[in-house]
Structure 1
Amino acid sequence: MVKALPEKCRKCGMLSAQQAQALHGTEGDGCWKPSVCYSRRSYARNRDRINQTRSRKRKEGELEQIPVEFEPLSQIVFGVLVVYRQAGVDTPVHAIAAEIWQGQEKVAIVPPVHCSGMVPSQVHQYVGKMLSVLEERYGIKKFASQTRLDPQLCGLRPCPLQG
């Protein structure tokens, strides 16, 4: 049987890398091991999604797949709000972007914009402005979902986090 992930590692995975190193590094309890901790923390953060994907792939291999053509599904246009921010309740928003999908295909993007220096009301105003443009062009009145990405994945250059 597989050994469960220690509770300490699960909690550590929810911290930022700097916080985890300060708490468990040389100044902390000394259990930080770079060769193990980066991947273990990533797994702790994403384990539910990883395990669900593994399980789905196992089941897909066993089951017959029956494609269903449904014309209205391919006509549905929706938007996904992409927010670059660290995990946590009150972490600041690093950048915001959006993706526009039609059915199962991405048809357009709103490129990311850094939110450094913006107060929360300004971020909400920008999202409102983005929605008004998307409503005008695609008829999207609200986002279907929101995706959170780590600020380290920000593709904007220059970026305050990238030095």
Structure 2
Amino acid sequence: MLSAEQAQALHGKEGDDCWNPAVCYSRRSYARHRDRINQTRSRKRKEGELEHIPVQFEPLNQVVFGVLVVYRRTGSDTPVHAIGAEIWQGQEKVAIVPPVHCAGMVPSQVHTYVGKMLGVLEERYGVRKFASQTQLDPGLCAIRPCPLHG
């Protein structure tokens, strides 16, 4: 519970002379963080004990679906920064619709763009609607140049 300076004063040259910097720093770190370290170690041990059961199901590999990717801050009234999509077949991503900035678009224009995107995806992959929507923070926007990234 002592600070490093206090422990060195007590156990260093002026104290009982048992301070060993090669050992004591790591022991103090372990003592401070042992709850988190032991919890992580226990979780990994339990995960290793679990049996992994693969299930082969051919129709699952044939399923094609789309995920709408929306770059937007959390909140109901925040504007959409950018919008894109991903196409998945089974567990593999097979295509993406690169995100586009929505700055200056009104909500009806964003909906129109999503509808147009779905039209293209239906034509190419048979995707009529998005299976899910992923919302990402605008700070993760990969489009360059971007108003948020100078």
Q: Same fold (TM over 0.5)?
A: yes
CA deviation string 1:2-36 (max 9, x = no partner): xxxxxxxxxxxxxxxxxxxxxxxxxxxxxxxxxxx
- Residue 28 of structure 1 aligns with which residue? none
CA distance in 1, matches of 2:45, 2:136: 27
- Residue 87 of structure 1 aligns with which residue? 74
- Residue 118 of structure 1 aligns with which residue? 105
CA distance in 2, matches of 1:108, 1:65: 29
Runs of 5+ in structure 1 lacking a partner? 1-55
> May I ask how many residue pairs the two structures share in their alignment?
109
Q: Which amino acid aligns with 1:112?
A: P
- Residue 44 of structure 1 aligns with which residue? none
Q: Which amino acid aligns with 1:119?
A: V
Matched, 1:157 2:147: no
CA distance in 1, matches of 2:50, 2:105: 50
CA deviation string 1:27-51 (max 9, x = no partner): xxxxxxxxxxxxxxxxxxxxxxxxx
- Residue 51 of structure 1 aligns with which residue? none
Match of 1:64 among 19, 27, 51: 51
Q: Which amino acid aligns with 1:95?
A: A
Seq. identity, %: 83
Runs of 5+ in structure 2 lacking a partner? 1-42
Match of 1:102 among 78, 85, 89: 89
**Runs of 4+, deviation exceeding 3 Å:** 56-60
Question: Greater shift after overlay, 150-159 or 57-66?
Answer: 57-66
Query: SS at the partner of 1:130?
Result: helix
Higher Rg: 2
- Residue 128 of structure 1 aligns with which residue? 115
Report the TM-score when normalising by structure 2: 0.69
Q: Which amino acid aligns with 2:122?
A: E
CA deviation string 1:53-75 (max 9, x = no partner): xxx97754331111111100000
